[in-house]
Amino acid sequence: MIDLANPAEALAGLAAKLPALLIAVTAHEVAHAVVADRLGDPTARLAGRITANPLPHLDPLGAIAFVVAGFGWARPVPVTAANFKRPALDMALVAGAGPAANFIVAFIALLVLVPARRALGADGGGDLLAHVLLLVFQFNLALGIFNLIPLPPLDGGHFLTVVLRGGAGLATLEQYGSIVLLLLVVTGAVRYIIGPVFDALTHVYVSLLRMIF
């Protein structure tokens, strides 16, 4: 959370969080766009969403929520399911690409953090770089997990189209999913979903790092 009682510290914290946010959002949305394009739907590519420029991917409210509360959302990549050969399955693959990209970037951030900290040290800017890389790790991991919550309109909701195959249960989720998600966010209950998974994946990542280093 941002400490408004100390504006200078809050601005410094925001400056450190901003690169992490931009990296997480860009990786997530570009992955959606690239996989959709590879599976036969050029909609996102034609809309200019296969780009490393983070601005086309940002949703202002989602960005503010992510910086302030630690979770949020980006501007959805446009996808035309009718262009896919296997609409339900391909939509699920496109949906899964975003979180998968976040998990990969999160691990890369940790992978770079260890040797960078050793090489630079605290006096050489190692502490600042380590802090930014740690934020990149945290933001990507949190964004990936949040989007896997199995509720429309999140990425996790698209996996249900394969499991439920258009049944009544899916129609109900599509109707009330956004309301349930909003309640989870407003009440803070979403943290009880993200928190345990975040801790478990962090443990896995740290174990892998120990095997490498």
As a whole number of angstroms, the distance between CA 50 and CA 97 comes to 13
Instruction: Indicate whether 56 pLDDT > 70.
Output: yes
Which has more pLDDT, 88 or 30?
30
Note the Cα 118 to chain centre separation in Å. Answer: 28
Q: For residues 38 and 36, what is the distance between their CA atoms, to the nearest angstrom?
A: 5
Helical pair 87-120 and 155-164, crossing angle rounded to 10 deg? 140
At 60 the pLDDT is 83
Range of the domain at 175: 7-212
Residue with tokens 């933001």: 139
1 assigned to some structural domain: no
Q: Mean pLDDT over residues 11-34, rounded?
A: 88
Total domains present in the chain: 1
In angstroms, rounded to a whole number, what is the distance separating the alpha carbons of residues 59 and 119? 36
Q: Does residue 22 or residue 163 have the better pLDDT? A: 22
Active-site annotation holder among 26, 27, 29, 110? 29
Are 62 and 72 in contact by the 8 Å Cβ rule? The answer is yes
Report yes or no on 109 lying in a domain. yes
Residue 2 lies in a domain: no
**Any domain includes 207:** yes
| pTM of the model as a whole | 0.87
Residue pLDDT, tens place only, 175-201: 778 888 888 888 889 889 999 999 999
Q: What does the alpha-carbon distance between residue 203 and residue 18 come to, in Å, rounded to a whole number?
A: 25
Tell me if 202 is assigned to some domain.
yes
Annotation says 174 is catalytic: no
pLDDT at 78: 94
The reply to whether 20 falls in a domain is yes
